Amino acid sequence: MNSDEFRIRGKELIDYIADYMENIHEHRVTPNVEPGYLKPLLPLDAPQKGEEWEIIFKDFQDKILPGVTHWQHPRFHAYFPAGNSYPSILGELLSSGLGVLGFSWAASPSCTELETIVLDWLGKMLNLPKSLVPTCTDEKEVLTERDLNGNCNVPNFNKTEDNRDDDEIDQRPEGGGVILGSASECVLVSLLSARSSMLRKLKSENPFTEDGVLLSKLVMYTSKLAHSCVEKAGMMAMVKIRILEPDENYSLRGETLEKALIEDQSNGLVPFFVSCTLGTTSCCSFDNLIEIGQICNRENIHLHVDAAYAGSALVCEELRFFSSGLELVDSFNFNPNKWMLMNFDCSCL
């Protein structure tokens, strides 16, 4: 495919997507197929030569589309909300067209800086505490800019330029965000970071003890109602996992965590990580961050909050009471691709 054909097919595909979105209600929400339906419809081996776009797209319409579950359908109410919008689709197209990687500043400066700036905006939209998102920082540290008056030029959703405090301009908060592929990845990254930090601490205190012995002492905690990715992360990190029972309101409480800590510490284990949930997938329950956060701060335990499901609701001021205790946490993730108009995948840590 050359650039001339790409222009033609691209315009056709945009029209197809627009028609699909406008008429999606005409489809069944779930496909009328059985497991394994697709294999007999496709060749046993990949084609040796590339095919014309018309053939590929016909295969899509005849073989792939009949097996699609239409997540954007107005009557789709399974799993969790899946955001989408025309600007989001266009942004995905533009990003794919550039084809850049942002794993370091040198790899693509504007990509790296834009991610940093927009994540700061997003954190302020949710009214996250300063420990999780900067209110204003030096451009050399977090790559945001200041105007001639020294004010940070990223939007502040809580204050106007007229009533911002001077001391806010000079703060050096520790927070900041990155975009990852899924909430599962966010939980795993947070856990690995906490594990690395605790192992360094234990090694400095016990320099002659083998790393494997120190690792065997680490234990993490989460609620029975937490997403399965938390337990999977613990398995991948090779640490012990304590699954704790929530209370009658499906909330993990401080008292339950305290009892587990005392028991494990008496057995020579080292508690180092707790994962709480704001909006469990099963019933949208909320763990008690204030109680758990105070314990974790006292015991020097990394407290992570998985708000993949309900975190976007913090955009609404009337729902921010759910976030009480966030100032006590060490890391926080949520999924804009659930309640916001963002297509999958977009998870923020």
**pLDDT digit string (tens) for 206-256?**
999 999 999 999 999 999 999 999 999 999 999 999 999 999 999 999 999
pLDDT exceeds 80 at position 346: yes
How much is the average pLDDT of 56-77?
93
At 142 the pLDDT is: 37
At 94 the pLDDT is: 93
pLDDT exceeds 80 at position 149: no
User: What percent of the chain clears pLDDT 70, i.e. is strictly above it?
Assistant: 89
pLDDT exceeds 90 at position 342: no
How much is the average pLDDT of 289-318?
94
Burial string for 160-178 (b: 16+ CB within 10 Å, else e) reads eeeebeeeebeeebebbbe
291/152: higher pLDDT: 291
Rounded to the nearest 10 degrees, how much is the dihedral formed by the CA atoms of 17, 22, 28, 32? -20
pLDDT exceeds 80 at position 150: no
At 174 the pLDDT is: 67
At 82 the pLDDT is: 80
Q: Are residues 244 and 223 in contact, defined by beta-carbon separation less than 8 angstroms? A: yes
338/109: higher pLDDT: 109
Closest CA to 274 of 302, 244, 237, 245: 302
How much is the average pLDDT of 190-218?
95
Burial string for 17-49 (b: 16+ CB within 10 Å, else e) reads eeeeeeebeebeeeeeeeeeeeeeeeeeeeeee
Q: Are residues 288 and 325 in contact, defined by beta-carbon separation less than 8 angstroms? A: yes
Say what angle helices 289-299 and 254-266 make with each other, to 10 degrees: 30
**What Cα–Cα distance (Å) separates residue 61 from each residue in 46, 54, 58, 203?**
19, 11, 5, 58
At 315 the pLDDT is: 92
pLDDT exceeds 50 at position 141: no
Q: Are residues 260 and 273 in contact, defined by beta-carbon separation less than 8 angstroms? A: no
pLDDT exceeds 60 at position 117: yes
**What is the set of domains in the chain, with CATH numbers?**
3-78 (1.20.1340.10), 180-348 (3.40.640.10)
* Band of residue 102 on the pLDDT scale cut at 50, 70, 90: confident
Order of strands, sheet of 331-333, starting from the edge strand that comes earlier in the sequence: 240-244, 218-223, 270-277, 302-306, 331-333
Give 29-91 as a 3 state SS string. CCCCCCCCCCHHHCCCCCCCCCCCHHHHHHHHHHHHHHHCCCCCCCCCCCCCCCCCCHHHHHH
**Could you give the CA distance from residue 280 to residue 154 in angstroms, rounded to a whole number?**
32
* Band of residue 135 on the pLDDT scale cut at 50, 70, 90: low
Mean pLDDT of the chain: 87
pTM: 0.82
Phi, psi angle pair for 105, to nearest 5°: -60, -45
Which region among 31-35, 151-155, 236-240, 280-284 has the lowest average model confidence (pLDDT)?
151-155
Which own/partner contact pairs does 262-266 have at CB distance under 8 Å and 24+ positions apart? 264/219
pLDDT exceeds 70 at position 8: yes
* DSSP class per residue in 88-112: HHHHHHHHHHH----SSTTT-HHHH
